[in-house]
Structure 1
């Protein structure tokens, strides 16, 4: 049996944010979501989040996580006090308790799995995660013998100068035999520099106490301020880029690009400099993205080219070309072989195969058939000041430059719209539509 408890009650004062620290975003997920995700493979029987500061907001943000329990710590009086709040909800639990910090988001699944396996194989009362740091300032020091048995943990501010020379640090990640921990939790004391109940004090009360040292110290990086948040972001971005490059993606300038965990690439994708991917974006085989493009929750087919453009909640089929300086807004759907050119905005519209909107146009709330050619400066005037209305353009139709189609309006197949026309009425298939004032020339006007 395994229970996981995540400590997520702190204020995070140094973040200087209205948002609780555990809800700060990191590569498309909050800190606490990353922590919960890192232990998902363990399939724990109980998952408990210990909340305090803005508890309701934290609970609401995690409402989609099935089976997650919330325990309130009020007031917040240290890590030991936080875990004491589990004595009642885990009164009948008989198994191991994994304790994670809500602000240590870089832990890998394999590291936590190794911690649990070592804890069980050694039959330890407690096993803690440790790391050797070049600069251990601020971290509790772990004192252990050559066999890995821990004798004590001393918080940085409580260390003597001699103790601070030890660079083996406590990561704040523990695996306990719950029954043994529950027996000593009431014995914790506030006799320390901060006047708080330290969970670390239980290590000296439990025997045997063992530790597992991580090979990559970045995994235990905690976040207390914006600078540390940025450092963790850089680590995650590097991990993500390395993963996708190993899967056959080319990044021309990797450090200039950012990804989310939900980004997925097929093989032979080329990502130019200064491209950014958010949400659940998928990029098909053989695409070329960028430079200077932003994609969020976009689905892109194979052999698509996107140049200096923004795609949000849009679907793009194979062999389309987008940009430069185009924007596909939510609800945009392009079939294969479409062309969306420079300074074109598409919103909540379906554009069928082979159609082209090459320049300086707005297509909103529209349906375009196959092989439509939209002339430069064509606008679908979809808003009457109160409601949005739809424009339908049949297959094979073409609009002249500077046309305005005032919705609701339907153009049949193979319609030609003369340049500079403003149309307010439906046009039948095969017709020529003109809607412009007669040209007036007055000679010798000057």
Structure 2
């Protein structure tokens, strides 16, 4: 059976007080609307239409990689009006449409799948998610007759008896597409808000003797974000969920409350992560790694047995058994080999560093190919930029680079070469050579006194 999804993402989000559309605020490093889109895809809904309004171009830009279509709701006149704006997307389709909200990123793909399965197995015209909570203030109530769902009443429209109901509408639904389109034509805005409610479709379907079901779920999954406070609560819930998954898989988190891991990250067994580490994007961390406090790792591959301390690794690869930091900066498109050493205050930019090479401290390597078993002295700089263009440096295997060396690109240093400390290398260094490129030392005795630069104290 054909299945598709609508995601409501046109709300203004006034309470969040931001120039950024509400659905683009991030939870665990990813925009809320993209969480929902990815959940729909995991649940098997490939055809996804996002209903946009405020900041529509920003939302399109943030979701472009998700291969979705869009419907525009120029005026925000309620959830029913939002779906009406997507009628062109639904016309001519037969099957099931799942309608979820772009500001509720905690719903699980398993829940969405269960909702669709229940909807189709029961042959319902509509099936909704519900939750039972002690304090339902502000939520739409589900009115039942026995087990059957009769209607949903918004909080502001509830009578005294309806206000006592504790089963609330989660704002997420499945509909038979043809029944939904039929009911949308009957929507009215005759209510306290003067809006078109999608919830009224339930009552319209019941009046037409259509079957409506409900799937109760944990309230936590249904939480929507309308303020910065709710954003923080949602972040904490999802972070705890992610961290628990990794701990269940054999990862040690010294303090889960101060460990930040993206939903997509993969971490191997027996890796130990200390507090205040931020692991973002599609990062893959191997087994038996040790992440001391205060590192950021983004979209990178960290192989088995790596140790990282207080460093930044961006879109790069760190080989097995290598140590990084403290205070190293591995910039995008860098590949560090196995059992290498990238030490304190070292910056690597778009470079390849061979196995067992040591870059221990205070060094910059950019746009370079470095071989295996090399050693860089303190203060080495690969001078890769002339103010207009970037150039490449090639360094062979088993090269020793003395302290305070400048390697002016483009230049090549061949295998087994040594470079004397303080040299500025501008030409090729042949294999197994010693390169010395510095001025001869000249001492001019008495020069300081002749210039009157010594201020002697009276004795």
Give the equivalent residue in structure 1 for 2:290.
288
Change (3 A) 1:302 1:46: closer
Q: Deviations over 1:253-310 (max 9, x none)?
A: 1111111122111211111111111111111111111221110011111111111111
Give the equivalent residue in structure 1 for 2:421.
419
Question: How far did 1:120 drift?
Answer: 2.4
3-state DSSP class of the match of 2:151? strand
Q: Deviations over 1:49-79 (max 9, x none)?
A: 222223333233333334x332222322111
* Structure-2 separation of matches of 1:150 and 1:31: 30
Question: How far did 1:357 drift?
Answer: 0.4
CA contact (8 A) 2:53 2:74 kept: yes
Superposed, 1:17-416 pairs within 5 Å as 17-44=18-45, 46-66=47-67, 68-147=68-147, 149-160=148-159, 162-207=161-206, 208-214=211-217, 216-416=218-418
Q: Deviations over 1:174-201 (max 9, x none)?
A: 1122222222222211111211001111
Once structures 1 and 2 are overlaid, which stretch shifts more, 57-66 or 331-340?
57-66
Give the equivalent residue in structure 1 for 2:441.
439
CA contact (8 A) 2:366 2:384 kept: yes
Question: How far did 1:347 drift?
Answer: 0.6
* Structure-2 separation of matches of 1:409 and 1:46: 53
3-state DSSP class of the match of 1:199? coil
Question: How far did 1:231 drift?
Answer: 1.3
3-state DSSP class of the match of 1:388? coil
1:12 aligns with 2:33: no
* Structure-1 separation of matches of 2:63 and 2:52: 12
Change (3 A) 1:48 1:430: same
Question: How far did 1:443 drift?
Answer: 4.6
Gaps of 5+ in 1: none
Q: Deviations over 1:200-249 (max 9, x none)?
A: 112112233222111x2110000112221121111111111111111111
RMSD (Å), alpha carbons: 1.8
3-state DSSP class of the match of 1:285? coil
3-state DSSP class of the match of 2:90? coil
* Structure-2 separation of matches of 1:41 and 1:300: 26
* Structure-1 separation of matches of 2:418 and 2:46: 66
* Structure-1 separation of matches of 2:282 and 2:116: 31
* Structure-2 separation of matches of 1:322 and 1:391: 22
CA contact (8 A) 2:8 2:51 kept: yes
Once structures 1 and 2 are overlaid, which stretch shifts more, 216-225 or 427-436?
427-436
Moved over 6 A (4+): none
Q: Deviations over 1:350-398 (max 9, x none)?
A: 1111110001111111111111100011111111111112222221111
Question: How far did 1:413 drift?
Answer: 1.6
* Structure-1 separation of matches of 2:345 and 2:39: 42
* Structure-2 separation of matches of 1:121 and 1:13: 39
3-state DSSP class of the match of 1:6? strand
Change (3 A) 1:201 1:247: same
CA contact (8 A) 2:43 2:110 kept: no
Once structures 1 and 2 are overlaid, which stretch shifts more, 180-189 or 433-442?
433-442
* Structure-2 separation of matches of 1:92 and 1:370: 63
Once structures 1 and 2 are overlaid, which stretch shifts more, 344-353 or 13-22?
13-22
CA contact (8 A) 2:37 2:66 kept: no
* Structure-2 separation of matches of 1:277 and 1:150: 44
Q: How many residues align?
A: 443
Change (3 A) 1:262 1:128: same
Once structures 1 and 2 are overlaid, which stretch shifts more, 349-358 or 7-16?
7-16
Question: How far did 1:102 drift?
Answer: 1.3
Question: What TM-score do the two structures reach when normalised by structure 1?
Answer: 0.94
Question: What TM-score do the two structures reach when normalised by structure 2?
Answer: 0.92
Change (3 A) 1:358 1:2: same
Gaps of 5+ in 2: 449-453, 455-459
CA contact (8 A) 2:87 2:181 kept: yes
* Structure-2 separation of matches of 1:237 and 1:143: 34
Change (3 A) 1:154 1:309: same
* Structure-1 separation of matches of 2:309 and 2:130: 46
